[in-house]
Structures are given as C-alpha cells and as structure tokens.
Amino acid sequence: MSRQLRVAAAQYSPEALVSLSAYKAKITKWVAEAVAGGGELLVFPEYGSMELAGIAAADDSLEAAIAAVTSLVPEIDLVHSTLAKKHGVTIVAGSFLENTAVGVVNAAHIFGPSGVKGRYEKLMPTPWERDVAKVKAGSGLVCFDTGSTRVGLVICYDIEFPLIARALAEAGADIILAPSNTETDWGYWRVRTGAVARALENQLYTVHCPTVGTAPGVVACPVNIGAAGIFAPSDRGFPPGGVLALGEMNQPQWVHATLDLDLVREVRRSGGVQTYNHWAEQPGATSLPRARVVDISKPSVNSGASNVIAATPA
C-alpha cells in the first residue's frame, strides 16, 4: 500500500480581532473543519497572524502592529501547538512580522502532531518588506520531519527562487509548503506559477495557500487576492498540468488533496522526464544553499525545535 497524506490548504480571511478569545475560537473552528475533511497537514497563509495586532497595538501604525504581534507570539504558539496535539496533525500557523535581535523578520511556526514547534523565517523579503517594513532575511532553510514525511517550508516570494526549493528537495522534502499574501492578481499568479514550476523541477508536491478577502484595519494585509492550489509534477500518475486541487478565487475555505508520497519517488525513478535526477547536469547547478533538517514529530527527538506543548486544552 502506498504512503498517503491528506493536505489542507487554507484560503484564510484575516479580520480585525478584538480579543484573544475571538482568535482562539476562530483558529479552533478552522482547524476542526480541516480535520473533519481528513486533513493531516494543515497550512495557514503568510501574514495570517497579523490579525492579532489590533488586540494590543498602541496605534494603527505598522511599527505598533509589529510590536503587538511580537508580544502575542506565545499565544499563537499555545493555540496551534495544543490543537496539533489534540488532533494528532501537523499545522503551519499563519506567519507574522516579529521584532528580533537582528531586526524584523517574517516568521512562520510549524507544529508537529505532538505539539512540537519548528520555525522558519522568510529568506527573500519582497521590496515592500525591505523598504517599508524593514524585514531582514531569515537565518536559513529548514526541512521539517513530521514523522510521516519531510516538508519544506517557504514563504510567498521564496517560492519564486528555484535554488531555495532545490535545497529543500535535496534535504528530503516530498512536499514544499508556500503560504502567501498577495494584494494583486499579478502577485497571486507569480506565486502560483512559482509553485507549479518548483513541483515540475523537483518532482515533488507544492502547496500554495493565500490570505483572501478584504480586511480593513489589519496592517500588512488589508486587501488579499488568491486561491489555494495543490500541485504535483505533470507526469504519469498525476493530472496533466499537475493541478491536484484548486480553490474558488477569493473565497474563505479549505482546499484538500490526498498526496501519494510513494508516487513522487516513483516518478523520479521512471517518469517521462527526470528533472530531479538531471538537475546537476545544468551549468552552475552545484552551487546550492543547504537546508538543515528539524524533527518535529515527537518531543523526545527535538533536534533544535522548541517544545511548546500547552499545559491546558484549547
């Protein structure tokens, strides 16, 4: 029997929240809906956690929003780690802008089925992030071992750069997750096209999930355009074009697909093309960043991830 994994990609609608209890109730409801659809790997989008800013921000400036969300990162972790453990699933929380010792970063936390946390910081900030939000590049690439598979996590603009995805593939990723936030059709299609291309090049799955809808008062994402997509290599055993699932444009919803993990390995061995194996034949292809592997499958094998399993139920 082949190894299969059910993925749920969120077309998530941020809103100006008024309390932590409202945030907790919203995330709990979304996770319950994904799990009811069979979801085992749940992905929330880039900037999905910025809706928390209004709860604690001193004013409506970007700087105040970043400071507020930074103060609430422990709450983000508590909610998601508890839900991951409760349902026995892996969850990527919506990313956020955070003040750190090196400056502002765009960070996403991933929680394994035992509630163990891993962290990734966006490696390639967009021009807006660099010029306006003063976002710094992250500290490196990470491939997460969830126990059932390895997943690479990138954020939005990262998926448009082939060497990043290739490094994750060589670290053993069967799936690359690409949460995003785009405010134009052009931006949405850039990320979607990047996700499709990375699936083709590396003969693996990519999962693109965006914020959607208008969100007045939510700093960094007041306008959100996109549709979640789950993509595969365009080869034998997969749909022509490689589109496994695609959401309805701009509508809040979960988009599900069941991934055959063994089929990815098979297509690398005997597909109509073998781009994964032939990658090194390109001029300059050996100059790659390296991705470290972090085990988030269980607390006893922590390998650099932080154990943030909640003491009280969600």
pLDDT over 90 percentage in the chain: 88
Residue 312: pLDDT over 60: no
Q: What tokens were used for 162?
A: 């082939």
The residue among 305 and 93 whose pLDDT is bigger is: 93
- How many C-beta neighbours within 10 Å does residue 62 have? 16
Q: What is the mean pLDDT of residues 44-51?
A: 97
Mean of all residue pLDDT scores within the chain:
93
What pLDDT, in 10s, does the model give residues 89-135?
A: 999 999 999 999 999 999 999 999 999 999 999 999 999 999 999 99
Q: For residues 206 and 230, what is the distance between their CA atoms, to the nearest angstrom?
A: 6
Give the per-residue pLDDT at 24: 97
Q: What is the mean pLDDT of residues 238-245?
A: 96
Residue 314: pLDDT over 80: no
Give the per-residue pLDDT at 217: 87
Residue 177: pLDDT over 50: yes
**Chain center to CA of 125:** 15
Residue 303: pLDDT over 60: no
Give the per-residue pLDDT at 311: 29
Phi-psi region of 267 (alpha: psi -120 to 50; beta: other; left: phi over 0): alpha
DSSP codes, the chain: ---EEEEEEEEB-------HHHHHHHHHHHHHHHHHTT-SEEEPPTTGGGGGHHHH-SSSSHHHHHHHHHHTHHHHHHHHHHHHHHHT-EEEPPPEEEEETTEEEEEEEEE-TTSEEEEEE-SS--HHIIIII-BPP-S-EEEEE-SS-EEEE--GGGGG-HHHHHHHHHTT-SEEEEEE--SSHHHHHHHHHHHHHHHHHHTSEEEEEEB-EE-TT-TT-SEE----EEE--SSTTS-TT-EEEEPPTT--EEEEEEEEHHHHHHHHHHSS--HHHHGGGSTTTT----EEEEE-S-TTS-TT-EE---SS--
Chain position carrying tokens 């800013």: 53
Residue 138: pLDDT over 50: yes
Reported pTM: 0.94
Q: What is the mean pLDDT of residues 180-208?
A: 98
- When pLDDT is cut at 50, 70 and 90, the band that residue 300 belongs to is low
Residue 32: name the closest of 116, 104, 89, 101 by CA.
89
